[in-house]
Chains A and B, each alone.
Chain A
Amino acid sequence: MEAEAAKLIGAGLASIALVGAGVGIGTIFGNYLQGALRNPSAAPSQFANLLLGFALAEATGLFGLVVALIILFVF
């Protein structure tokens, strides 16, 4: 296989990491909504934690994107 083609395939495979971020963000917002509907009065106090969890979960997927970009541009 040509090195260039292998590079592109590798970058594509590395961006599969974003699947995990999608699942994570879905879990966070889904569970927040579930909890908020059960106990709406407690929901606002947990909003900061929701955003923190969202940012942390999103970042793990972006690590995979960084790997993809490193494969594409650095090597």
Chain B
Amino acid sequence: MIGAAYAAEEAGHGDGHGGGTGLPDPMHQFEIKRLINLDVFGFDASFTNSGLFMVIAAALITLFTLFAMRKGALVPGRLQSVAEISYEFVANMVRDNVGTAGMKYFPFIFTLFMFVLALNMLGMVPYSFTVTSHIIVTFALAAFIFIGVTIIGFWKHGIGFLKFFVPSGVPFVMLPLLVVIEVISYLTRPVSLSVRLFANMMAGHTMLKVFGSFVVALGLLGGWAALAFMVAFTGLELLVAFLQAYVFAILTCIYLNDALHMH
């Protein structure tokens, strides 16, 4: 959405207001701002607010797990329980969807889930920035998963992994068509995985912004109804923020299972 952010900046002349309507521009919140200008061999590698929030998310997860598990008590306290619940949650997800063979990849799935969850939840803090509302971030994650899973598949099964694209028990004449469909559906995985997360986060935050501007526009007298909607929508968005992290992680598990066990 960098393009959209720039377009919004142009339309609103950088002050965050759409032309004419008087309502704030809902796309202004997705704007990327350079915090530290960096130029690496002609590439723009500036440290942006997007990068800042990624660093905050990574630091939060690391500090949380380290601090919560610092005692490692047999009977966990409150904070340690949260850390153990999140561990168990992801561990069960991997066990249920990939089996014990997948536990080798548990650290990656856990990191992925916690990172996406932290980014989504940080985005719900007012005046913060939602990193996952930019398709390039989610697509980079999804492409990494897709390439990694494909490499695991070929590494595990050799050239026999290509059998994955040939459905069993279908008439021979149907095969040319079905193989093409299977290959296309496999290749669209990174696209659907990334667009799902990005679209949910962006649509949710745009909706919150639009309804929030209604509250302001209706003023003290009429704004209460819209404010009640806002509270409900914020609750829904918190649910969606968690669900999308969950779906992202569980689909990674499912793709991993396909690569390890071929259907």
Query: Is residue A66 within 8 Å, beta carbon to beta carbon, of the partner chain?
Result: yes
- Say yes or no: B200 contacts A52, CB within 8 Å: no
- Say yes or no: A55 contacts B203, CB within 8 Å: no
Q: How large is the interface on A (under 10, 10 to 19, 20 to 34, 35 or more residues)?
A: 10 to 19
In the assembled complex, the Cα of A2 lies from the Cα of B7 at a distance in Å of 20
In the assembled complex, the Cα of A42 lies from the Cα of B240 at a distance in Å of 24
Q: From residue 161 to 207 of chain B, which have CB atoms closer than 8 A to chain A?
A: 192, 195-196, 198-200, 202-203
- Say yes or no: A66 contacts B246, CB within 8 Å: no
Give the Cβ gap from A53 to chain B, nearest Cβ, in Å: 10
In the assembled complex, the Cα of A10 lies from the Cα of B4 at a distance in Å of 17
Closest to B201 in A: A62
Query: Is residue B244 within 8 Å, beta carbon to beta carbon, of the partner chain?
Result: yes
In terms of DSSP, what is the predominant structure of the interface of chain B? Answer: helix
- Say yes or no: B7 contacts A62, CB within 8 Å: no
Interface residues of chain A, those whose CB is within 8 Å of chain B, are 51-52, 54-56, 58-59, 62-63, 65-66, 69, 73-74
Q: Give the number of chain B interface residues (Cβ < 8 Å).
A: 20
- Say yes or no: A74 contacts B199, CB within 8 Å: no
Query: Is residue B27 within 8 Å, beta carbon to beta carbon, of the partner chain?
Result: yes
- Say yes or no: A55 contacts B243, CB within 8 Å: yes
A-B contacts besides A55-B200, A55-B246, A62-B200, 11 pairs, CB < 8 Å? A52-B247, A52-B250, A55-B244, A59-B192, A59-B195, A59-B200, A62-B196, A65-B199, A66-B202, A73-B3, A74-B7
- Say yes or no: A55 contacts B7, CB within 8 Å: no
In terms of DSSP, what is the predominant structure of the interface of chain A? Answer: helix
Interface residues of chain B, those whose CB is within 8 Å of chain A, are 1, 3-4, 7-8, 27, 192, 195-196, 198-200, 202-203, 240, 243-244, 246-247, 250
Give the Cβ gap from B243 to chain A, nearest Cβ, in Å: 5
**Which residues from A are CB-within-8-Å of B192?**
59
Would you list 23 pairs from A and B whose C-beta atoms are within 8 A, ordered by A residue? Answer: A51-B243, A51-B246, A52-B247, A52-B250, A54-B243, A55-B240, A58-B240, A59-B192, A59-B196, A59-B199, A62-B199, A62-B200, A63-B195, A63-B199, A65-B199, A66-B195, A66-B198, A69-B4, A69-B202, A73-B3, A73-B7, A73-B8, A73-B27
- Say yes or no: B243 contacts A74, CB within 8 Å: no
Give the Cβ gap from B251 to chain A, nearest Cβ, in Å: 9
